[in-house]
Amino acid sequence: MKIAFLKPEPPASGAFVVGVLEDRKLTPAAAALDKKTGGVLTRAMATTRFKGKKDEFLDVVAPKGVPFGRIVLAGLGKLDKLDKASAEKSGGKLVAHLNAVGETLATVSVEQIPGAPINPSDMAAHVAFGAKLRTYRFDKYKTREKEDAKPTLKALNLLVTDVAGARKVHGPLDRVADAIMFARDLVSEPPNVLYPESLAERCKRLTAFGVKVEIFDEKQLEKMGAGALLGVAQGSTRPARMVVMQYNGAPKAKDKRPVAFVGKGVTFDTGGISLKPSAGMEDMKWDMAGSAAVVGTIEALAARHAKVNAIGAIGLVENMPSGAAQRPSDIVKSMSGKTIEVLNTDAEGRLVLADVLWYVQDRFKPKAMFDLATLTGAVIIALGHEYAGIMGNNDDLANKLVAAGNATGEKVWRLPLGEAYDRDIDSPAADVKNIAGNRAAGSIIGGQFLARFVNDVPWMHIDIAGTAWSAKDHAICPKGATAFGVRLLDRLVADNYEES
């Protein structure tokens, strides 16, 4: 779908979209159109339940005397709630509506609404951002599809007085949208196509944005002492990889230390010898969503030329059962030198992260470190699919994540870590065990395990098991891969770590 920003002028064809505030209060453009059409809009609203509430739409067949074929009244909701997030959701919902009714061309009037807390340029840019995100489809493997199932909308034009201003705001957002789309693609790919080697190769895409990409193979990982990560991978015919992405967007900063992002990349998780039930195992192709979010975040920062130094590091493995697979009760030696008793081979993501977290803090000495992982099913029990769980050693980082989550809609909720939880993972045979041995506080235990491999660096763990994939459509994301974390971390950097 092509998106363009144009000077205000009624369209010659397609659908003309105008806004209506709650309680049927017409925006200036809607009021002008109502007057021009002899009160058609007012009469149409009076004969329906349309009130102008947020995300309501009312289609009106355009009367004689106007060149376009359809008028769409778009509910904007309450005036004081008009902000960037609501604009994005409106854009996404609008695209879904226009596709549902079979429209091919739409023109949206974005104007100054007296009393609104957002200006037209920002609104237009964020409507376009949300619209683009909602167009995402993963259909590359479909060989045939019914015509009425295909999207129809080919072009979306946004009318705004300050075209240059809207384009300036939209430029970086569009680059972030591209990164989100790429991350969604990675999560959506089947595991016979996306595995450690092929995912590592796809990361090379980032070199086009000036990112340095290093790929470490099994021999190099063994030399590094990554015994925890390699232990997970040993049951698969697919060899492990670790990818490190370096983006230096602030080379002249006084504090050149990077912000670091670490991702779990289990490209398929059977559970290993601790085999998962067969029902629902197909979902485990997205057990690498944390790594996809990290790749997407680094691309977003580099593509929009963020003034920050950032590191992305992902550990890539496939967790499979075989004669060579890791066994419950095996003891492995991690890169940190600490030994781990593996009591459950399905608690594998924390083993991968243990080595990558250690590597990143040891090599790059980051000012802050964040990891993303579909780590525990327990976080879904605790928080459902609305919030990601966060844990860590720094209150300031937690507060920054919460603020970024509230601003983007990728919300997070902090869970505690503590000495009592830490005692639960003491092992009689090794330095630490990878599960507590009971089902209590499963998500917290995962975070507490990771804390054993973090030293003094400010660090937060983000458990995205409940938010990485959606079983239903959302305003700016159709059902499927969400790329949760890209918008969250991009906003976190923009608000807290970029050089002025």
Residue 389, beta-bridge partner list: 413, 463
Catalytic residue among 51, 167, 202, 276: 276
Q: Let me know the angle formed at the C-alpha of 310 by 305 and 314, rounded to the nearest 5 degrees.
A: 120
Q: Which two tokens stand for residue 33?
A: 């159109």
Question: Known catalytic residue: 491?
Answer: no
Phi, psi of 59 (to 5 degrees): -90, 135
Residue 21, beta-bridge partner list: 25, 77
Residue 330, beta-bridge partner list: 342
Q: Which of left, alpha, beta for 376 (phi over 0: left; psi -120 to 50: alpha)?
A: beta
Integer Cα distance of 239 and 232 in angstroms:
10
Q: Which two tokens stand for residue 144?
A: 């045939």
Residue 214, beta-bridge partner list: 244
Catalytic residue among 89, 134, 285, 350: 350
Question: Known catalytic residue: 350?
Answer: yes
Of 122, 119, 15, residue with least CA distance to 60: 15
Integer Cα distance of 108 and 120 in angstroms:
12
How would you label 287-306 residue by residue, b for 16+ Cβ within 10 Å and e otherwise?
A: bbbbbbbbbbbbbbbbbbeb
Q: Catalytic residues, which ones?
A: 276, 350
